Every structure is written in structure tokens, then in C-alpha cells.
Amino acid sequence: MVAVAAGAAPVAPLLEAASVMDEALVAFLRARLDEDERELVKDPPMGLGYANLPARIHREVEAKRAILDEYDRADGGYGYLRGLEFAIVRWGAVYRDRPDYRREWGP
């Protein structure tokens, strides 16, 4: 649990739950990005309307990797780090139907 300075506003419950970021969640999300890239190379989407999808998926993977990389090296203020944690926890919840997803990672 992260201490809150006297007189500061209380931390929202979702952020409080994410205050101790599990490095396993970050590793889990990196593995999902690796899967997305492998799948894109192995079986690229074809057909009408999919012409730009592979490029968009590559950009999305790059953007998500940048978020994880920023979290790994973040030395910003409390609010900045909490914002990254919030985003990562919510993003991780997208995979809650996978057997290797841990309930404690969820919001």
C-alpha cells in the first residue's frame, strides 16, 4: 500500500489495488505482445478491408511495448507512475479469460 500525504485526496480503489504492481503482469503482457507479432507473421489477415491491418497491429504492439518500457524505467512522480499502473492493470484485464491470467491482477 502506498502512503498518502496528510491532507491529500484518498486514492481510488482501483489505483489502490494496483499500487503494488506485479512484475509478472508486465511479463504476461510482454508475452501476449510476442504472440500477437508471431501470429501476424504466421497468419496475416487477408481480404477486403484488411489491407492496413498488419501495419496497424505492428504499431499497436510497438505502442504497448513503449508503455511497458516506460513503466520499467519510470522515475516520475507518484501520479505519473500511478497512471501507468492504472493503464497496465486495465489493459491486462482484457486477457482475463486466459488460464494463465491471475485474478489478483484485475481491477
Give the model confidence (pLDDT) of 2-28 as tens digits. 344 445 444 444 444 444 577 899 999
Residue 5 inside a domain? The answer is: no
The per-residue pLDDT for 57 is: 87
Range of the structural domain that residue 39 is part of: 13-105
Residue 7 inside a domain? The answer is: no
What CA–CA distance (Å, rounded) separates 71 from 26?
9
Residue 1 inside a domain? The answer is: no
Residue 29 inside a domain? The answer is: yes
How far CA 106 is from CA of 5, 18, 30, 74, 89, in Å, comes to: 26, 8, 17, 22, 6
Residue 27 inside a domain? The answer is: yes
Residue 3 inside a domain? The answer is: no
Q: What predicted TM-score, i.e. pTM, was given to this entire model?
A: 0.70
Number of domains in the chain: 1
